[in-house]
Amino acid sequence: MAPVGLQALAKPCNALLIPMDFNIYGLNPKLFFTFLFIVQICLALPENSVKPSTATSSGGQINSNSVLVALLDSHYTELAELVEKALLLQTLEDAVGKHNITIFAPKNEALERDLDPEFKRFLLEPGNLRSLQTLLLFHVIPNRISSSHWPNSTHVTLSSDRVHTSSHSSGQQVVDLARVIQPDSITRPDGIIHGIERLLIPRSVQEDFNRRRSLTSIAAVLPEGAPEVDPRTHRLKKPAPPVPVGAPPVLPIYDAMAPGPSLAPAPAPGPGGPHHHFDGEAQVKDFIQTLLHYGGYNELADILVNLTSLATEMGKLVSEGYVLTVLAPNDEAMAKLTTDQLSEPGAPEQIMYYHLIPEYQTEESMYNAVRRFGKVRYDTLRLPHKVVAQEADGSVKFGSGDGSAYLFDPDIYTDGRISVQGIDGVLFPLEEEVKSEVKTLQKVKVVSKPRRGKLLEVACRMLGAFGQDSHFSTCH
């Protein structure tokens, strides 16, 4: 029961310690020594004992000498800002309280100028907070690694991913693919910070980013493995016979095209198909995504993906080994299309077919061609119409008259199979007016000369011998 008494005595201890100018004159010595004894007991109680300072107190406050405080106050401002936006301060406080940590801090330029703007926009979206947290925790290891004891091993980060540290023969220290440019940049008792040249991106975040920007959600390309019906025979298509790798397509591109906008595509045998030597579907995804990122071509991408099945058809053509050049009208040009031009069945497909050239052309090749030959007629997928190209104002001009368009954004996308050239107008083929050429036969009026008889001829000769034929008009 003694401890209970000590605890009871501890409550008035603070009151006993408050009066610092306590006057002891005229006081009983026994009472004074009793007072000193109580003061000693109060100081000896655990409630009033002074605890040594630690990195974190019971209230969760970080010591001013902590590596986390040093990070927030350091020149790694971009990383510190991301840590605050990711709501990771409490998580890092707990890690600092349990471990002696190592932080790999990318330089500010790696997060400002070197980072892909689209990827940074992805990280800062509210719905991708978990990806941002995983990315930042990938830079923290729950054990201390100094530059003097740099291991060549793999470590588990706070994001549960693994990061590899190594050293080159030249002495350069490396973390995954990033060089350490400021070893031991900040050193504290509970952790250490190394400056690295670039951002470390875990595989899970990269896959999440690729999955978010993929066009799978809007079904740009039909899923593989679905049974296809041949529109000509109305039977299931048989797999194409094996073709040597790299062999050219067997059929012309027009035979490989879909028979009509309402029917399923009819793939031709070639290097693609089940062998997948050309991944045309992925290439079509890439070029449509490039149009969206480039800006100003959203209407065309919407027509290719949502309004028609041309994205699927183009992917199959490229998979079969064909090449395509897309003359892409920008949004301003597409906005000039009227409802009547798009409302007829198959009209969007026919408009787009006239902008697809079954050749691989770049801005340089087309410009050189029109410079050399003046006018060049390119075949299109809208048979039998051709698009005419010619040089104008130092560029390439397609069409003629009011329906012409200039090469506005050259080489938006070129991958060796698909070439996309931006133009500032929508092209339409000249209407084939069948002019019946009526050949007007000029009727030549033949004036028949009167035939003279033998007797009259002899008489005229005789009169001519005497010089008298000029008096008779008949002899003329």
Which one-letter amino acid corresponds to residue 171? Answer: G
SS3 231: coil
Q: Take residue 355 and report the two structure tokens written for it.
A: 């902008």
Residue 307's nearest CA partner among 265, 358, 254, 350 is 350
Regarding the domain with residue range 251-423, which homologous superfamily does it belong to in the CATH classification?
Answer: FAS1 domain (2.30.180.10)
Task: Kindly tell me the sign of the dihedral angle through the C-alpha atoms of 20, 21, 22, 25.
Answer: positive
**Number of residues in the chain:** 476
Helix or strand run (H / E) with residue 81: helix 77-85
Which one-letter amino acid corresponds to residue 425? Answer: G
What span, in angstroms and rounded, lies between the C-alpha atoms of 188 and 103? 11
Q: Take residue 70 and report the two structure tokens written for it.
A: 């040093």
Tens digits of per-residue pLDDT, 63-91? 778 888 888 888 898 899 999 988 998 99
Residue 245 φ/ψ, nearest 5 degrees: -65, 130
Burial class (CB in 10 A: 0-12, 13-18, 19+), 250: middle
Task: Kindly tell me the sign of the dihedral angle through the C-alpha atoms of 295, 300, 302, 305.
Answer: negative
Residue 144's nearest CA partner among 181, 178, 99, 195 is 99
What span, in angstroms and rounded, lies between the C-alpha atoms of 197 and 284? 34
Q: Which residue has the tokens 């931006």?
A: 422
Q: Take residue 465 and report the two structure tokens written for it.
A: 């011998």
Tens digits of per-residue pLDDT, 137-157? 999 999 999 988 898 999 999
Q: Which residue has the tokens 């109680």?
A: 45
Helix or strand run (H / E) with residue 6: helix 2-10
Q: Take residue 405 and report the two structure tokens written for it.
A: 């368009």
* CA distances for 471 relative to 79, 228, 465, angstroms: 125, 100, 13
Residue 471 φ/ψ, nearest 5 degrees: -85, -10
What span, in angstroms and rounded, lies between the C-alpha atoms of 209 and 119? 7
CB atoms within 10 A of CB 422: 25
- Cβ-proximal residues to 228 (8 Å cutoff; 6+ apart), any chain: 236, 237, 264, 265, 267
Tens digits of per-residue pLDDT, 361-410? 999 999 998 998 889 999 999 888 999 999 998 899 999 888 899 999 99
Q: Take residue 403 and report the two structure tokens written for it.
A: 């329906």
CB atoms within 10 A of CB 210: 9
Q: In 305-434, which residue ranges form alpha helices assigned H by DSSP?
A: 310-319, 331-334, 339-343, 347-353, 363-373
Strand partners, 178: 175
Determine contact, residues 423/327, Cβ cutoff 8 Å.
yes
CA atoms within 13 A on the CB side of 451: 2
Strand partners, 405: 398
For domain 67-210, give the CATH number: 2.30.180.10
- Cβ-proximal residues to 89 (8 Å cutoff; 6+ apart), any chain: 68, 83
Q: Specify the domain boundaries for CATH 2.30.180.10 within the chain.
A: 67-210, 251-423
Measure the CA dihedral 156/157/159/163, to 10°: -80
Q: Which residue has the tokens 């010089």?
A: 467
Give pLDDT tens digits along the chain (476 positions): 444 443 444 444 444 444 444 454 555 665 666 666 666 665 555 444 444 444 444 344 567 788 888 888 888 988 999 999 889 989 998 898 888 999 999 998 888 887 888 888 888 888 889 999 999 999 999 999 998 889 899 999 999 999 999 988 888 999 988 999 999 999 998 999 999 999 998 988 888 888 776 544 443 344 445 556 666 666 666 666 666 666 666 666 666 664 443 333 333 333 444 444 578 888 899 999 999 999 899 999 988 888 788 888 888 888 888 889 999 999 999 999 888 888 888 888 899 999 999 999 999 999 998 998 889 999 999 888 999 999 998 899 999 888 899 999 999 999 888 999 999 999 999 864 333 333 334 444 444 455 555 566 766 777 666 665 555 566 65
CB atoms within 10 A of CB 474: 10
Q: Take residue 399 and report the two structure tokens written for it.
A: 């069409």
CB atoms within 10 A of CB 55: 20
